[in-house]
Amino acid sequence: MDLSRRLAAEALGTALLVATVVGSGIMAERLTTDTALALLGNTLPTGAILVVLITILGPISGAHFNPAVSLVFALRRELAPRDAALYALVQVLGGIAGTIVAHLMFGEAPLQLSGHIRTGGPQWFAEAVAAFGLVAVILAGLVHARTAIPWLVGLYITAAYWFTASTSFANPAVTLARALTASFSGIRPLDAPGFILAQLAGALIALAVCGWLLAPSKATR
């Protein structure tokens, strides 16, 4: 696909992903005061939409929807550095658009600043683990189960919502977009840089580990 269509797919996919995360968070918050039930209501739509979006947009752009993933593919020399930078830009813009769309659907102010505190060593470590796992799932899936990647990613994020202390943002563009909602899924803007640095670190560690783990053995070369 030409670059313009790939960028459109990345922007659209990230927008729909964030609209799902933020919108389902608002819906869950309005329907229940039970935090665990609200988190479940936020989790299931997110995992489901990832399966859908990766399936339908993957053939166009690779369905990264995540600057950390685009960085990994640039370092693997499977995406030109300029294209990776443009991917990241449209992912961030698409994510912000997704937040606005979710707010408008629920009659909220288009953009808000979150007051949801998410900071500290355990939260940062959780984000590094979340991003590590996401990138590892993608890279291993490309080797062992390429056609299953939509399900692998969707199921991984569904699980990571619950086994990570941070509820697995695992995505710098989504983190920035979620800093612009005061709803259940938000993150205080002051806390976003720590999450993003942890996500990038986790993604790079996964790239290094998978580069060794998934390399063909000498006997098969």
For residue 47, the number of C-alpha atoms closer than 13 Å in the C-beta half-sphere is: 19
DSSP sequence for 35-69: HHHHHHHHHHHHHHHHHHHHHHHHHHH----SHHH
The stretch 3-29 carries a mean pLDDT of: 98
The stretch 51-75 carries a mean pLDDT of: 98
Cβ proximity of 60 and 6 under 8 Å: yes
pLDDT value of position 170 = 98
Taking the C-alpha atoms of residue 104 and residue 94, their distance in angstroms, rounded to an integer, is: 15
* pLDDT tens figures, 115-132: 999 999 999 999 999 999
pLDDT value of position 1 = 86
Taking the C-alpha atoms of residue 34 and residue 119, their distance in angstroms, rounded to an integer, is: 23
Reduce the secondary structure of 134-195 to three states and give it as a string: HHHHHHHHHHHCHHHHHHHHHHHHHHHHHHCCCCCCCCHHHHHHHCCCCCCCCCCHHHHHHH
Angle at CA 68, nearest 5°, toward 167 and 45?
Answer: 40
- What is the reported pTM? 0.95
The stretch 27-49 carries a mean pLDDT of: 97
pLDDT band with cut points at 50, 70 and 90 for residue 155: very high
pLDDT value of position 221 = 52
